[in-house]
Amino acid sequence: MEIRLVGNSALLIEVDDPLAWFTALDAERAAGRLAVTDIVPGVRTVLLDGVPAPESLAASLRSRPAPPFVRFYQDNLAIPVVFDGPDLAAVADMTGSSVEALVRTLTETTLTVAFGGFAPGFAYLSGLPWTVPRRESPRPRVPAGSVALAAEFAGIYPTASPGGWQIVGHTGTVLFDIDRDPPALLTPGRTVQLVRA
């Protein structure tokens, strides 16, 4: 573990399992045992913001063993997907499988929201059994609801935007709604099951 002070009241923790640290620290915050404003997981980091005594907390964290990952939710969130993406066949080739086998793997794999991404409501879903390269040339516009793969992650575009991920399907599920609490449907720690629509 490496811990860096960020500004006057934040800590950036580099750890092997950011989601496990996020779930443990967020549970402490919810129980009133950790006074921080925000906890943000990343690929290899967890940011603690609004820390009243950062040096003291850093010393405490250094003395702790790595926590186990604890699921927030007892059920998987089912997201219906039509597997008709323009990159579906190419991704099947990349993974050495047929289109049917690829779809079966995607629907049988439980994915976990590892962290949020480049747009409100976008979540990086971990748990894929293979990695998929990004497209050589990004698309100028990826439609909202596009289900896509890149590196070791799956993701669903909450709004139309440029993007370089491999599109394998689409969903009508609303991922971000400012009138919902929380606005993002996919929050860190949530488990997701893609199902055929």
Residue 69 has pLDDT above 80, yes or no: no
Q: What is the mean pLDDT of residues 27-52?
A: 94
Overall fold of domain 77-196: Cyclophilin (2.40.100)
Overall fold of domain 2-62: Gyrase A; domain 2 (3.30.1360)
What is the C-alpha separation between 69 and 37, in angstroms, rounded? Answer: 22
Residue 105 has pLDDT above 80, yes or no: yes
Residue 38 has pLDDT above 80, yes or no: yes
Residue 91 confidence (pLDDT): 98
- Could you give the 3-state DSSP secondary structure of residue 99? helix
What is the C-alpha separation between 175 and 142, in angstroms, rounded? Answer: 15
Residue 117 confidence (pLDDT): 86
pLDDT bucket at 35, cuts 50 / 70 / 90: very high
Q: What's the whole-number average pLDDT of the chain?
A: 94
Residue 72 confidence (pLDDT): 66
Residue 73 has pLDDT above 70, yes or no: no
Q: Which of 18, 92, 86, 13 is nearest to 48 (CA)?
A: 13
What is the C-alpha separation between 1 and 153, in angstroms, rounded? Answer: 24
- Which tens digit of pLDDT belongs to each residue from 4-24? 999 999 999 999 999 999 999
Domains of the chain by residue range: 2-62, 77-196
- Which tens digit of pLDDT belongs to each residue from 132-163? 999 999 999 999 999 999 999 999 999 999 99
Residue 165 confidence (pLDDT): 98
Residue 188 has pLDDT above 80, yes or no: yes
